[in-house]
Amino acid sequence: MRKLIVFVAVALAIPTSVALAKPPATHTSQSKAAPKVMYVLKGTFSSFTAAAGTTDGSITITVTHSNFHSKLKGQTLTFAVASSTKITNQNGKTQTTVADGTKGMVKFRAPLAKGVSAAVLGPQLPTMAKAFHVIVNKATS
């Protein structure tokens, strides 16, 4: 009988010690910054200047379509092009030049801009990020 009483007392003590245990630490290192998202802009290129060493080049795109993160249709934006920027055709072959009037797309990552109008977002985006991939599709006829 004594063994039964000791067993019951130990069984009742275990849940109490778990209930009084210190709660797990919360994560305090989470960033308050807006998350970065991928912007994909399709349109017509002009004014391409290749990067030379550490000097950035640039590319201008007149946007005909953009992904759901932005509503930039109809705007003309100029992005910096670093020497690390991939410039390829639609088959993945590296391009060294982009002719004016060529259709294609620009991909870059920048902070998510929720609730910001296209008129405000358009001029801000090129200053937030460099293009990291330019895909050249075809020249217009």
pLDDT in tens, 110-126: 888 777 777 788 888 88
Largest CA distance in the chain: 98
Q: What is the pLDDT of residues 9-44, one digit of tens each?
A: 666 666 655 556 666 666 666 777 778 888 899 999
Reply yes or no on whether the pLDDT at 79 is more than 70.
yes
Mean pLDDT of 83-102: 91
Residue with the two structure tokens 């920027």: 85
Residue, of 115 and 73, whose pLDDT is higher: 73
Higher pLDDT, 29 or 96: 96
Q: What percent of the chain has pLDDT over 70?
A: 74
| Residues in the chain, total | 141
β-pair partners for 80:
58
If one counts every other C-beta atom within 10 angstroms of the C-beta of residue 51, the result is: 17
- Of the listed ranges 35-39, 68-72, 134-138, the least confidently predicted one is 68-72
**What pTM does this model have?**
0.71
Measured in whole angstroms, the distance separating CA 77 from the mean position of its chain's CA atoms is 17
141 against 62, higher pLDDT: 62
Which runs of E-coded beta strand occur in 9-95?
Answer: 36-49, 57-66, 76-89
CB 34 within 8 A of CB 113: yes
Q: Is the pLDDT score of 86 beyond 90? A: yes
What rounded mean pLDDT belongs to the chain? 82
Cα–Cα distance, 85 to 94 (Å, whole number): 11
Q: Return the higher-pLDDT residue of 17 and 129.
A: 129
The predicted pLDDT at position 72 comes to: 84
* Fold annotation for 36-139: OB fold (Dihydrolipoamide Acetyltransferase, E2P) (2.40.50)
